[in-house]
Amino acid sequence: MKKEFDSTTLRFLFLIALLAIILIIGSTSSVNPERIKSFLKHMPLLYSSLAFVFLYVIGTFFIWYLKDPLKIVGAVVFGAYISTFLIYISEVINAFIFFNLSAILGKEFIEKKVRGKFRRFYEKLEGVNLGWIFLLRAVPLIPYRILDMSFGLSKVKLGKYIVAVLLASLPRIFWIQFILSAVGGFSMDKLMRYFSENTVILVLSFVYFIAALAAAFRIKRKFM
């Protein structure tokens, strides 16, 4: 029993140490989106697509904030539709990796050692249905990585979570990539001008924002 306890605790401590290392790497690393864009533009579409997915999966594993620059680069280089597909594939791969990583290293510790408020939170998380997981993934409220690892620590099955990832991620990703592609990157001035010239997109974005806000209150009532 003692050996099992030590093994459980050590795996969880390794997970914490790994996350700390990732945060340190991310906070001390610099990214040049222009160099990435130039690199991808000089490659055939097939190779640049594979390189983008590889960079998105491996790069964002260590540098979490790299996702936003890569979304902008993807929209400019590949356009709305291809960049959506590539990011969608990358996010599914990331969900699989981070879910399993936290499940292997931390789930047993959560089940055996965690008590009190955090325990009650995971009990609520374990009881959610596919609709709630879909809502959490579809609403831009909680970062994907936090969701992946939180559900990995719970008793939610990988298959159930991946189904929600497959269904919910695409609309959220496409909306962002569509606007970034239309604007030609990210610039507040260009963004405001684009919305002023495309009132339908502005209205739909506002509706999406209100729906996300309403969903956020539902999520808070459910889990907090």
Average pLDDT estimate for 9-38: 84
pLDDT at 178 over 50: yes
Spatial distance between the Cα atoms of 14 and 185, rounded to a whole number of angstroms: 38
Residue/partner pairs of 209-214 with CB below 8 Å, 24 or more apart: 211/139, 212/139, 212/140, 212/141
| Range name among 1-5, 98-102, 171-175 with the lowest pLDDT average | 1-5
Angle at 65 between CA 59 and CA 175, to 5 degrees: 100
How does pLDDT run across 71-89, given as a tens digit for each residue?
A: 999 999 999 999 999 999 9
Q: Among positive and negative, which fits the CA dihedral 92, 46, 61, 171?
A: negative
> Which amino acid is it at 110?
I
Q: What is the pTM of this model?
A: 0.82
- pLDDT reported for residue 189: 80
For the stretch 105-160, pLDDT in tens is 888 887 777 665 666 766 676 667 777 777 778 776 778 888 898 888 888 888 88
What is the percent of the chain with per-residue pLDDT over 90, rounded to a whole number? 25
What pLDDT score does 114 carry? 67
